[in-house]
Chain A
Amino acid sequence: MSLDKSRNAMPQGSLDMLILRTLQLGSKHGYAIARHLHVASESFFQVEEGSLYPALHRLEQRGLVSSEWGPSEANRKAKYYTLTSAGKKALKEQTSAWYEMQQAITRIMNFQPAEM
């Protein structure tokens, strides 16, 4: 598959869903979340990694994730985020909405006008 890297901005509003999905796999600190998004997307998205933090703090304020300080892999202090039950519910809803939107877009792209 050929990809145009200049167009690899993340679709608006999808970052929260991708963070929640990443945390569904287990608690992670921000750096680990960034690495996961990088690896799982096969380096597709070109986003500044700092943009994760406003999103993480927003999700925490909404009660969708909780946080706790703990030792990192290198035994340094890092802040770990965990998906809450409200976050799991929100992820389910967002995933469902995303699939519906994806299908709607596919239908529009495949639409053929009736022949006269």
Chain B
Amino acid sequence: MSWSNIWQNVLRTFTRDDSASSSGTVREELMYHFRELVNEEVARGATFDAAWEHAEKQFGSLRHYENECHAMQLQRTFVWGLAVSAAALLFLVCAGWSRFEIGRQRLTDDLRSLKDELGALRREQDSLVTKTAQSVSEQIQPVESDFVGLVLDDEQQPLRDTTVLVTLKTWPYGQYHSKDFAATTDSEGRFLLSKLVPASGQYAIELAVVKDGFAFHSYFHLKQTPEEKLEPITLRLEPASHVTLVVRDDNDVPIRDVKVVPRARESQNGDIHRIDLLGSELVGRMTDAEGRVQFGCFLTGDTVEISVQLPGGDWDLHSFEVSQDDFVIDLASTAVAVN
């Protein structure tokens, strides 16, 4: 057995990794991500070269990050080697660098191979596009679809005049866009946002349903696959508990005109419901002359987040659990009490 073989065997012994993050698999893992970025851009209509360039910009240097992963592996090996012996450590470092150089060379070869493979794919795609240009042109006409839903109370009865706030988020050509919509439920508790759902591309829909006397409810949908359709949704609102907050200063004197805005609530089963700025404005309240403000949008047992703004002051975030017992929060200059 040659010295080279001995070095390789020792190296394999020290760098053997049960979690499958050896040289080849690290490269394979990174290349999977890189290919997906290229495919994503090609699917958006970019040329292969533009897609490749975009992927390089978005991912960063493949070689750099592979080296970092390898360096981490080598570091672990280094520590293990110290425990064995100083001689083994020297052996390991030399072998590690050797393996590192081999891995780098393999990565270069793989990248070249991948570029050739994707170049052939591009030529094939170009040919297909030419043949079917007319039909593709017809198919890419965007046809948005409606977003519909039903809002019920806890007795399955429709809730009319409920405010439905929707934020649509899209990423055309990698750029983030968002747009807000609002609707009100009809006498049968139904709402309709016409032509809201994009025909293609990734999108996310955030929705908050707000009605005084009922705990507010939010919903999130992220389209992750091209085949995925947004089905009509049904939301059930539960009657809210009556919560009264009293805001006082250090001398226990009530403060009026304090703005109190609910931001989120976490129910006892762990569901988190949030409302954005527009929704907050709908359920926000001001304290009266006795420093009191009442809410009908939380459930008993909820852990809630509220924002509090003293007259002319900044916003403070508070969190507390809605319970039957009296609850007091002490702040640096203000006390907020729940009766």
Interface residues of A (CB under 8 A from B): 29-31, 34, 38-39, 42-43, 48-51, 53-54, 57-58, 60-61, 66-69, 72-73, 76-79, 106-107, 110
Contact = CB atoms under 8 A, between A and B. Distances in A.
Contacts of B76: 61
- Point out which of A48, A53, A69, A107 has the most chain B C-beta atoms below 10 A from its C-beta: A53
B335 interface: no
Given A67-B21, A73-B225, 5 more contacts: A43-B176, A50-B60, A51-B65, A53-B30, A54-B72
A38 B25 CA distance: 25
Interface in B303-319: 314, 316-317
B6 interface: no
Contacts of B178: 42
Given A42-B178, A49-B60, A66-B19, A54 B33 contact: no
A39 B224 CA distance: 11
Contact of A77 (B21, B28, B33, B61): B28
Nearest to B67: A54
A60 B72 CA distance: 11
A110 B72 contact: no
A48 B68 contact: no
A69 B20 contact: yes
Contacts of A66: 19
27 contacts: A30-B30, A31-B32, A31-B36, A31-B37, A38-B171, A39-B202, A39-B204, A42-B176, A43-B171, A43-B176, A50-B60, A50-B62, A50-B65, A51-B65, A53-B65, A60-B21, A66-B19, A69-B20, A69-B25, A76-B32, A77-B32, A78-B32, A79-B25, A79-B28, A79-B29, A106-B316, A106-B317
A30 B76 CA distance: 22
A60 B21 CA distance: 10
B199 interface: no
B212 to A, nearest CB: 26
Interface string B58-74: 11111011001100110
Given A42-B176, A49-B37, A53-B68, A79 B32 contact: yes
A110 B316 contact: yes
Contacts of B61: 50
Interface in B20-52: 20-21, 25-26, 28-30, 32-33, 36-37
Contacts, number: 87
B29 A53 contact: yes
Contacts of B29: 30, 53, 78-79
A57 B21 contact: yes
A50 B72 contact: no
Contacts of A110: 314, 316
Interface in B214-253: 222, 225
Nearest to B71: A54
Interface in B71-103: 72-73, 76
A69 B332 CA distance: 52
Contacts of B204: 39
Given A31-B33, A53-B68, A60-B19, A48 B58 contact: yes
A57 B225 contact: no
Contacts of B64: 50
B169 interface: yes
Contacts of A43: 171, 175-176
Nearest to B21: A57
A115 B196 CA distance: 54
Given A67-B19, A79-B20, A42 B32 contact: no
